[in-house]
């Protein structure tokens, strides 16, 4: 237990919490009411102070996951733009190669180096032979024209795709800049929030942690969690190896994590790539009910999704809980449970 910390005077809390809540409101984040008797930042009791800290911590987590999601969207749009550019380069190369071939055919036809219409007429032994040779020339010309038209269409489609992808990437850049702006403004408040959290008594801190990230449970011993597949075992063992690592907003390891950073890190150890976004992770795989949960499944919380963990079995999960608490084991039935997904076969 932490030693009892001196309580901050009633007039000292508003500057910290109210400033944080003001920034969150300006960022478009709806805050959870904490009761009619306690205006934002004016905690009349230790219980209200703990609830304010829990609410503020949750809203910071929401914003962090929005930031993570924006980064994932940006990466996808940039990849789409690069793919479209590669398609344009390939189409241009094919078009240039065909144009060279057609130029060579034209040169042969008009210089007498090959079978042109005039040469076909002069060298044919009969009208039928001449018509056959002309038909062959027409067929070759038609083939090249058809291929050329197809390549031109392909190039136009690639250019269109490239323009659309570039627009999407620009939109994603704007989205990322907006969320980074929110994050930057919040960074100035995080230290004040940490100070406000530190001013809570040990009991209030525990209450705030339980309200936001659920109570911490005893972590299972190494090898005691048996998964149903080798991949699931790697995921669980990797996640459990991070117990005790600190929670840091937007961190993805190897020494600090937020919730989706931990799940991404653990799954990567099994060769499975997940986006660094709880919202995106909660849309992968297939849904499973609470009764169907197996070790290695993802469990997610709140609507919209802003927290995620890995199921261990026995009603337990491992997750990067919240600020002030390290990676630990908790109950899957903590407040806000919204569903589960199975990524593994």
Q: Which residues are catalytic?
A: 259, 307, 319
Q: Say which DSSP state 12 is in.
A: G
Q: In whole angstroms, what is the distance from residue 186 CA to residue 285 CA?
A: 33
Total residue count of the chain as it appears in this document: 345
How many other CB atoms are there within 10 angstroms of residue 137's CB atom?
17
| DSSP secondary structure string for all residues of 91-135 | HHHHHHHHHHHHHHHHHHHHHSSS--HHHHHHH-SSHHHHHHHHH
Instruction: Give the position of tokens 């032994």.
Output: 125
Half-sphere exposure of 201 (CA within 13 A, CB side): 10
């Amino acid at each position: 237990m932490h030693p009892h910390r001196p309580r901050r005077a009633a007039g000292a809390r508003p500057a910290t919490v109210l400033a944080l809540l003001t920034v969150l409101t300006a960022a478009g984040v709806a805050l959870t009411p904490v009761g009619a008797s306690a205006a934002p930042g004016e905690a009349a009791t230790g219980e209200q102070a703990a609830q304010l800290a829990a609410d503020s911590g949750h809203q910071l987590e929401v914003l962090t996951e929005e930031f993570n999601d924006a980064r994932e969207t940006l990466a996808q749009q940039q990849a789409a733009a690069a793919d479209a550019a590669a398609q344009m380069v390939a189409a241009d190369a094919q078009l240039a190669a065909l144009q060279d071939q057609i130029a060579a055919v034209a040169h042969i036809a008009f210089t007498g180096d090959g079978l042109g219409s005039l040469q076909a007429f002069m060298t044919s032994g009969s009208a039928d032979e001449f018509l056959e040779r002309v038909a062959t020339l027409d067929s070759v010309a038609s083939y090249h024209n058809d291929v050329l038209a197809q390549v031109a269409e392909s190039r136009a489609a690639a250019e269109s795709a490239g323009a659309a992808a570039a627009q999407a990437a620009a939109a994603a850049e704007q989205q990322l800049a907006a969320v980074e702006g929110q994050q930057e403004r919040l960074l100035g408040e995080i230290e004040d929030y940490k100070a406000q959290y530190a001013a809570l008594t040990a009991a209030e801190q525990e209450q705030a942690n339980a309200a936001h990230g659920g109570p911490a449970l005893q972590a299972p011993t190494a090898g005691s969690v048996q998964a149903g597949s080798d991949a699931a075992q790697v995921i669980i063992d990797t996640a459990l190896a991070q117990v005790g690592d600190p929670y840091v907003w937007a961190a993805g390891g190897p020494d600090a994590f937020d919730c989706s950073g931990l799940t991404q890190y653990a799954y990567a150890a099994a060769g499975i790539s997940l986006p660094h976004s709880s919202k995106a992770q909660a849309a992968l795989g297939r849904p499973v009910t609470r009764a169907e949960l197996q070790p290695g499944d993802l469990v997610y919380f709140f609507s919209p999704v802003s927290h995620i963990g890995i199921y261990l079995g026995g009603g337990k999960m491992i997750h990067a809980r919240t600020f002030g608490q390290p990676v630990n084991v908790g109950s899957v039935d903590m407040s806000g449970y919204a569903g589960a997904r199975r990524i593994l076969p």
